[in-house]
Amino acid sequence: MFAILKKEIQSFFASPIGYLVIGIYLLANGLFLWVFKGDFNILDYGFADLSGYYFLAPWVFIFLIPAISMKSFSEEKKQGTLELLLTKPISSWQLVIGKYLGILSLASLALLPTLLYIYTIYQLGNPIGNIDLGATTGAYIGLIGIAAIFSAVGLFTSAISNNQIVAFIIAILLCFILYFGFEGFAEYELFGVSSFAIENLGVKAHFNSISRGVLDTRDIIYFISISAFFLFLTKLTLSKQ
């Protein structure tokens, strides 16, 4: 498993992909938060907080993580190396987890430089240091949770398709539905189920909850469960193939 993880990380940074992914993530968020005029610009907003970043980051992840994961199994199938991997003395689970951790590691690395935003907000506060560190910590845990789910979704779509572009598009669609879809469905109160129950099936509700600074075990269990579900589907797909 660790050999697969090492191979995945090396493949990301042996080509421009790893640097490009991190660069695009930082550039997209940085431009909206500090350069472009608008509701997300922290300097124009008048309040020293990162609410704009917490709104933008999941949007960027919806496109960025599928771009990272789309080649995981699709490329292996195209090059005919998937069969070779499956004949190695590793289980399907080890292969899936190794590739999954590689994708999640790269997404997490993209988050690290944004810790500078916290220091900046800390200094911009009036008085200096006027920042809710509990909510900030919760929001970053939530972002890692989102990255964990989207990475599992991207890995699954890569396993079911031989075409990277198809895997990329399906992953974006599934990530969008998981994050925003249930909130939209909740407005219609489908099947007589309360809107609150439907909304809580979505990622956004749990991210908003944990972003308040309260580490509810229900939110942590949700992130782990959805990630595990798509990893199980990935393993099942590989077993059938």
**What average pLDDT does this structure show over 45-64?**
84
**pLDDT confidence of 230, banded at 50, 70, 90?**
very high
Question: Any idea which of 90-99, 137-146, 181-190 has the lowest mean pLDDT?
Answer: 181-190
**Position 173 pLDDT exceeds 90:** yes
**Position 228 pLDDT exceeds 60:** yes
pTM for the model stands at: 0.89
**Position 106 pLDDT exceeds 80:** yes
pLDDT, tens digit, for every residue of 13-51? 777 777 888 888 888 888 888 888 877 777 776 676 788
Percent of the chain with pLDDT over 70: 88
* Structural element, H or E, at residue 106: helix 92-111
Q: What is the pLDDT of residue 200?
A: 81
Buried b (16+ CB within 10 A) or exposed e, 111-147: beebeebbeebeeeeeeeeebeeebbebbbbbbebbb
